Amino acid sequence: MRDDRGFTLVELVTVLAIIALLVAIALASYVTSVRYTTRMLCAANRRGFTRSASIFTAEHNSTQPATLEDLRPYVRNFDSAAHCPADDRLIEWDAAGMEAVCTYPGHQP
């Protein structure tokens, strides 16, 4: 007499396939949210540099900052803010446009 308790191979494979599909969907969502978060953090850092440049200009008789380094006293955690969180590229300063620029693809304003 055969004992029929337990799962068949087809049932186990079906459950594993469903779990794999759910993991794939969750992973794709996670990667998308990480990319979005790093892009938003980079934009926030660049806005902070632009605001700091306005303060610099006001305190230095309308002289604009020539480099990003000029803004060091005005930016908290300058060393980490000066790098893009996506791949550690240094954020560049556009003196003509008075704005911080990130060269990482997709992080331009």
Say whether pLDDT at 3 is over 80.
no
Give the count of alpha carbons within 13 A of 83, CB side only: 8
Distance (Å, whole) CA 76 – CA 26:
35
Within its chain, how far is the Cα of 101 from the centroid? 14
Domain range summary for the chain, segments of one domain joined by +: 9-101
Q: What is the pLDDT of residue 25?
A: 97
pLDDT digits (tens, 9 = 90+) for 48-69: 999 999 999 999 999 999 999 9
> Do 100 and 50 form a contact (C-beta atoms < 8 A)?
yes
SS (H, E, C) 31-68: HHHHHHHHHHHHHHHHHHHHHHHHHHHHHCCCCCCCCH
Q: What is the pLDDT of residue 103?
A: 92
Say whether pLDDT at 1 is over 80.
no
Residue linked to tokens 């990130």: 102
- How are the residues of the chain apportioned to helix, strand and coil, as percentages rounded to the nearest 5? 55, 5, 35
Label residue 2 by pLDDT band (50, 70, 90). low
pTM of the model: 0.77
Q: Which of 14-23, 53-62, 89-98 ranks highest by mean pLDDT?
A: 14-23
